[in-house]
Chain A
């Protein structure tokens, strides 16, 4: 960020008199605003697409009243959420009740900072990128647990407890399934991980095709991440047909909206992580976006990245509208008896592969056969 600030100061003579920290701060605020706008737009459009996809899958029409073909439905929903009365139950723990949605929202939104949208499009290329994502998304569980506890509602409490147990359990397989990508890239930075997957026509360098273990770990990650973000078939914390609405049952208005947004944010983060770590990130198949002029290369890679990520989101929606829900003991059994051992074995497999074949993947070996 500071390097960018220096180059900005050098480029614009008007800024020469301004202290460097002010420029950096300004830049940070601008970038944060851009990301926030993007996140909110994605979440709004995402909710619309979700409902449209749901309508399509469920043999009905979906929203079609607000704006052309229902396109503005998300705006109407957003306005409605803001205008709704903000109810706080009489016996709720008011402070925690008000605090909880922010934890959930911040947890999912903060992860957007390290999403590698394009060749140079990343708000902060932290050298601990993946670790950072894992850390901040853990805030969501605190929000959900607080919401369940502070509502003073037994259904909400059950939902909060379920969420805590579930998210904490599934964080282990999620982390373990992501480590293969880190091992191959030799870096925790998401941008480095994406760069490590370039080459070989931009598609055979993907970690997905690196070796059988990484192929497997993509699916392990996707499954575990679905559970970590409370998506169907693991949506137990908000199991509508069991817990009424789960941890957010007492929330209304914009506080409910924040939970809603954080859910979509989580969905997108899962999609971006699986894209960045396994599907080559912004690497364009059969083409090297880095050779283009800065602006075109970025736009191009941004489009490719979003296309991949949205495909993953659509798959998540598809799963969501197809599968029934697990029971809570089955969910825990799945985490501890299947996913955790599998991800560990898988990690071992990837490590051995990298050791034995000196870091080369199957496509690279095939390519070297042909010179």
Chain B
């Protein structure tokens, strides 16, 4: 009897296994085949004139959108606010966004709206530039290499005496960044704070969103393409912005990029592709299909060791995309970066679009932005770790990304080798160590991370 039971049990077990296996296989293939035609075919995407909008331009020019049955119009936007409002009110179906924008919109800092991201657009790609006048003063504080060129990375320690000189004379030291919740704001703040310069707090609960409380350096917003002109006019002494606006300063001879964000935080997440949650729910196939097109474009950009970059530069130089001179765009896109005029150095990973899982929307990336929002007071009260995870899961949608990637593999448009960690990822990058101040970031412990900084709000602090 017992034996019989065992036998039956075993058979049942086996049957279940086969059935589940069959089911899961069929589920998988059904899943892949199920990806139907897009519900909405005519789409309009917004972007800001920066080289990291490249995946959108490439997906259009190389026909990846059309391959998905999507008829996409791409439109440059005046500034980040206009772009975000466009996605919120439906004028735009999706857009190239600052990583902080969907997060800030979701937690209600600025305009409140549910924006999600199924696709992270790139890593790195920003720089901090100072005017020639400030550079001359900074230069004496920077150690030199045997060949006379400054040792990199240049830390804000070199800038500190200059800022102090200005403060002693009672002159404000102004710098530009592109948006209150932009990567650039947090990177500039990170770099300044790592050198002992206080970039100021936000106090939204008191109605102060200038971000200049207790500040040594006053940061203000300028749209990216106007950065060089604003610095030339003397309104700001330096800025943090994406390409080509740092290289533009070198070409025009009005300033010197001192540090790239690659040196501040190696392989930091930069832009994302943002869509409204409502859009993703209403048009699931369209969402997956546009993600597929963008993944293919990102791969094309990094393929064969950046072999396609020169072609990409030509496309981006068209007046309807970035529109700057091709040689300016090429400087950073093809793996070099010119600091001081003539000081051109290899930075092969200055713009990363696909390598190192660049396109995967990691929760830990979202959480880093949240920690910085808390550090500088944009989030005015303490939040438990669980809150950080919840927000990240609301905004970053690896589930959509995975569906897109799996269907690309099923359609043989890409291979499983292109997504080495697709099935094993839990949405958190391993603790990241390459910060300019040596502080390690672990996305699984946000509050612990916030407490590590000497400048910035810590647990329990309130302005």
Same complex for A and B? Answer no
A contact residues vs B (CB 8 Å cutoff): none
List chain B positions with a Cβ less than 8 A from chain A.
none
